[in-house]
Chains A and B, each alone.
Chain A
Amino acid sequence: MSQSTTSANISQADLQNLDDNSKKDIMNFLEVENSKQKVQMSIHQFTNMCFKQCITNATNPELSAGEEQCLNNCVNRFLDTNIRIVKGLQNIQ
């Protein structure tokens, strides 16, 4: 949907006529946005995973101290595991 409006508003010819500085500008912008987006997607993934594990009932909209601690631990243990796995795989090689 938004894809089509993009190509409608900005023509191919316009894009080809961009000067080098503008291209560099956009490349930089994309790089920054891309890494921000990776962080965002990780947070989506962690929230999805840790919410399932840590939150058992939703009658209270506030997080309890225990739930908050569980979420925090969940992220950190996941990252510990990730690091451990990467190291383990490196040792295999």
Chain B
Amino acid sequence: MALSSIFSGNNNNAEQQQPTNTTTTKTPLVSELKQQISQELAIANATELVNKVTENCFETCMKTPYAEGNDSCVDSCLAKYMRSWNSISRAYIQRIQQSPDKNA
């Protein structure tokens, strides 16, 4: 799962993965609902990410008594956090694919 899916809201996916059941009436309401659900999830994920990166980069880059900022550290910390996210995502998905029954 790519990180980009966090922000996209995954609308294309939501629309296309249905194997168009013959009897399913493709009401606009259904796709609207799906779209809103995807959007809510994307917002929740983005919020979580912002909070976690801020927390970690604040801890990494700022020193008591917080007299001065350190923008360059924050910038590279953000980049590093995103790389870590991707790396961990890969490791975790590899792990759950190896033993799908063992992990909660």
Contacts and interface: CB of A to CB of B under 8 A. Distances in A.
Contacts of A44: 45, 48-49, 52
Task: Determine the main DSSP class of B at the interface with A.
Answer: helix
Contact of A40 (B1, B40, B73, B96): B1
Interface residues of B, number: 55
Contacts of A42: 92
A46 B61 CA distance: 20
Nearest to A22: B30
A83 B102 contact: yes
Nearest to A86: B104
Interface of B: 1, 6, 14, 17-18, 21, 23-25, 27, 29-30, 32-34, 36-41, 43-45, 48-49, 52, 55-57, 59-61, 73-77, 79-81, 83-85, 87-89, 91-93, 95-96, 102-104
Interface of A: 2, 6, 9-10, 14-15, 18-19, 21-22, 25-26, 29-30, 32-33, 36-37, 39-44, 46-48, 50-52, 54-63, 67-68, 71-72, 74-76, 79, 82-83, 86
